[in-house]
Every structure is written in structure tokens, then in C-alpha cells.
Amino acid sequence: MIRAGFVKANGRFKSFVVSGHAGYAESGSDIVCAAVSSAVQLTANAVTEVAGIKAKVQVNEDNIALTLPNGCESDAAELLIAALYLHLSLLAEDYNDAIQVLTEE
């Protein structure tokens, strides 16, 4: 199962961690894994490369984490991470055995 955890502070997204494997289909044919991977990569690249925010990005074998810098109040970063949260939440509705989305404040 893919687990996506989002952290908010003062009502704004500050970080996310996505880990695991969907297990929906065989490797190379797993549409849930492909959708999540693509959305997470897009978000991380948009925050760091397009919006130019010096976010901390950590990538391991089956885990990616993005943390905005302390004091970051970028509306662009907030919108991008909120869009990822929405996208993954909608995927979780359709594939609830393959993905779980959690939020903490």
C-alpha cells in the first residue's frame, strides 16, 4: 500500500511523505503506482525548480519526502502541495486498497 502523509501548520501545507508500493498490478503495469509517482515528481519539481523554493527533498528507494523551509509562506508551494493532496485523495477514493492519505496539523 502507498501511504501519503501531509503535515499542515497554521492551516497551510508544510511537508509530505509518500512511501510504499500500490500492489495494484505487477511492476511496470501498476497504474496506481504510476499515477502517484508522476504526481509526486511533478509536485516536487514544480516546488523546487519552477517556483524556486529551497525545499528539502529526500528520495529513497520507495520513499520521497518534501519539506518547505521554515517560515516559507509561498502561495505557489501551498497550491502545489494542496493539489497533490487532492489528487492523491481522489485516487484513494477509487483505489482504497492501494493508497492511504493522512493529514496531521
Q: Is the pLDDT of residue 75 over 90?
A: yes
The pLDDT-based confidence of 74 (bands split at 50, 70, 90) is very high
- Beta strand spans in the chain (E): 2-9, 12-19, 56-60, 63-67, 99-104
Among residues 22, 32, 33, 77, the one annotated as catalytic is: 33
Asked about 87 being catalytic, the answer comes back as: no
Asked about 72 being catalytic, the answer comes back as: no
pLDDT digits (tens, 9 = 90+) for 15-62: 999 999 998 888 888 899 999 999 999 999 999 999 999 999 999 988
Quote the pTM value.
0.94
Among residues 15, 17, 21, 82, the one annotated as catalytic is: 21
- Contact call for residues 55 and 70 (beta carbons, < 8 A): no
DSSP 9-25: ETTEEEEEEEES---SS
Q: Where are the domains of the chain?
A: 2-104
Topology annotation, domain 2-104 = Alpha-Beta Plaits (3.30.70)
